[in-house]
Chain A
Amino acid sequence: MRIDGKGLIDRTKPVRFRFDGKDYAGYKGDTLASALLANGVRLVGRSFKYHRPRGVLTAGSEEPNALVEVVGPTNQTPNVRATMQEVFEGLVTQSQNRLGSLRFDLMAVNDYLSPFLSAGFYYKTFMWPRAFWEGLYEPIIRRAAGLGSLSGKHDEGTYEKAFAFCDVLVIGSGPSGLMAALTAGRAGADVILCEESHALGGRLLSDGGTIGGVPAGEWVASVVAELQALPNVRIMLRTSVTGAYDHGTYGALERVGLHKPARPNLPRECFWRIVAPHAVLASGALERPVAFENNDRPGIMMASAVRTYLNRYGVVPGQRVTLFANTDQARATARDLMAAGVQVAAIIDPRPDAFSVEDCPVHVGAEVIGTRGRMGLRGITVRKGSETFEVETDCLAMSGGWNPTIHLTCHMNGRPRWNEDLAAFVPMEGAVPGLVAVGAANGSMSTHGALVTGHAAAVQAVEALGRKVSVPLPEAEDAPYRLRALWAVEGKGRAWLDFANDVTTNDVKLAAQEGFRSVEHMKRYTTQGMAPDQGKNSNVAALAVLADATGRGIAETGVTTFRPPYVPVSIAAMGAGGRAEGFAPQRFLTSDQASRDRGAPMIEAGLWYRPSYFPKPGETTWREACDREVNMVRQAVGVADVSTLGKIDIQGRDAGRFLDFVYTNTFSTLPVGRVRYGLMLREDGLVLDDGTSARLGDDHYLMTTTTAAAGLVMRHLDFVHQAFCADWQVRFISVTESWAQFAVAGPKARALVNSFLEEPVELPFMGVAPVRIGGVDGRLFRISFSGEEGYELAVPTRFGEALFRDLVARAETMGGGPYGMEALNVLRIEKGFITHAEIHGRVTAHDIGMEKMVSAKKDCIGKAAATRPGLWGPEREQLVGLKASAPISAGAHLFVPGTEVHRETDQGYVTSVCWSPTVDAWLGLAFLKDGRARQGERVRLVDHLRGLDVICEVCHPVFHDPEGEKLRA
Chain B
Amino acid sequence: MPELIAKSALEGRSLTLGGVTLAEVDVGPITSIALLPGGAKAVAKGLKPLGLSMPEPNSFAEKKGARIVWTGRDQAFLTGADCPDMEGAAVTDQSDGWAVLALSGAAAVDVLARWVPVDVRLAAFPVGRALRTQLNHMNVILLRSGDYAFEIMVFRSMARTAWHELEAATHMVAARAGVKI
Q: Which residues of A contact B (CB under 8 A)?
A: 158, 160-165, 190, 235-237, 256-257, 263-267, 273, 275, 577, 581-582, 584-590, 608, 649-653, 726-739, 756, 758, 773-776, 795-803, 806
With known contacts A163-B117, A256-B179, A265-B172, A735–B90 Cβ distance under 8 A: no
B residues with a Cβ closer than 8 A to A are: 1-8, 32, 34-37, 75, 89-98, 113-119, 121, 123-124, 136-138, 155-158, 160-162, 164-165, 168-169, 171-172, 174-176, 178-179, 181
Q: Are B165 and A577 within 8 A (Cβ)?
A: yes
In the complex formed, the residue of A with least CB distance to B121 is A165
Pairs A-B, 9 closest by C-beta atoms: A651-B90, A737-B97, A731-B34, A797-B96, A731-B90, A165-B119, A587-B157, A266-B175, A265-B175
Q: Is the CB of B97 within 8 A of A729?
A: no
Given A738-B94, A799-B4; A731-B89 close (CB under 8 Å): yes
Chain A, residue nearest B162 (CB): A585
Measured between beta carbons, the chain A residues less than 8 angstroms from B94 are 733, 735, 738
Known contacts A577-B114, A581-B164, A651-B90; A758/B36 CB under 8 A: no
Roughly how many angstroms separate A274 CA and B1 CA in the complex, as a whole number? 58
Cross-interface CB contact of B93 among A577, A590, A738, cutoff 8 Å:
A738
What residues on B are CB-neighbors of A582 within 8 Å?
136-137, 164-165, 168
B138 touches A796 (CB 8 A): no
Interfacial chain B residues near A273, Cβ < 8 Å: 117
Which residues of chain B are within 8 angstroms of A797 by Cβ–Cβ distance? Answer: 96-97, 156
Minimum Cβ distance to chain B for residue A586 (Å):
5
A608–B6 touching, CB < 8 Å: no
With the chains together, A256 CA to B177 CA distance in Å? 11
A273 to chain B, nearest CB (A): 7
- Closest chain B residue, CB of each to CB of A756: B2
CB distance from B29 to the nearest CB of A (A): 11
B113 touches A652 (CB 8 A): no
- How near does chain A come to B163, taking the closest CB pair, in angstroms? 10
User: Quick one: closest B residue to A260, CB to CB?
Assistant: B179
Given contacts A735-B97, A737-B98, A796-B96, A590 and B116 within 8 Å (CB-CB): no
Q: For residue B164, which residues in chain A have a CB less than 8 angstroms away from its CB?
A: 581-582
- 16 chain-A/chain-B pairs, Cβ below 8 angstroms: A162-B114, A256-B179, A257-B179, A265-B172, A265-B175, A266-B178, A267-B176, A577-B165, A582-B164, A587-B161, A652-B90, A730-B90, A731-B34, A733-B32, A733-B92, A802-B2
* B96 x A585 contact (CB < 8 A): no
Whether B8 lies near A798 (C-beta < 8 A) is: yes
Distance of B152 from chain A, by nearest CB (Å): 14
Which among A160, A590, A651, A756 is the interface contact of B114 at CB below 8 angstroms?
A160
Question: A608 contacts which chain B residues (CB < 8 A)?
Answer: 157
Q: B178 → chain A, closest Cβ, in Å?
A: 8
Residue of B158, B176, B178 touching A586 (CB-CB under 8 A): B158
- How many whole Å from B3's CB to the nearest CB in chain A? 5
**Complex Cα–Cα for A726 and B36 (A):** 10
- Docked CA distance A235–B116 (Å): 21
Decide if A733 touches B96 in the complex (CB within 8 Å): no
Closest to B112 in A: A163
Distance to closest chain B CB from A253 (angstroms): 15
Q: Is the CB of B175 within 8 A of A264?
A: yes
Q: Are A774 and B4 in contact (CB under 8 A)?
A: yes
B138 touches A585 (CB 8 A): yes
CB atoms of B35 and A731 under 8 A apart: yes
Given A774-B1, A798-B6: A589 in contact with B181 (beta carbons within 8 A): no
A728 adjacent to B96 (CB under 8 Å): no
Select from chain A the residue with minimum beta-carbon distance to B8.
Answer: A798
Chain A residues with CB below 8 A from B91, complex form: 651
Chain B hits for A774, CB < 8 A: 1-4
| CB contact under 8 A between A263 and B156, given known A160-B114, A161-B114, A577-B114 | no
A residues less than 8 Å from B136 (CB atoms): 577, 582, 585
Given contacts A256-B179, A586-B158, A774-B2, contact A735 B7 (CB under 8 A): no
Assembled-state Cα–Cα distance A776/B171 (Å): 40
In angstroms, Cα B97 to Cα A753, docked, is: 24
Q: For B90, what are the chain A residues with a Cβ–Cβ distance below 8 Å?
A: 649-652, 730-733
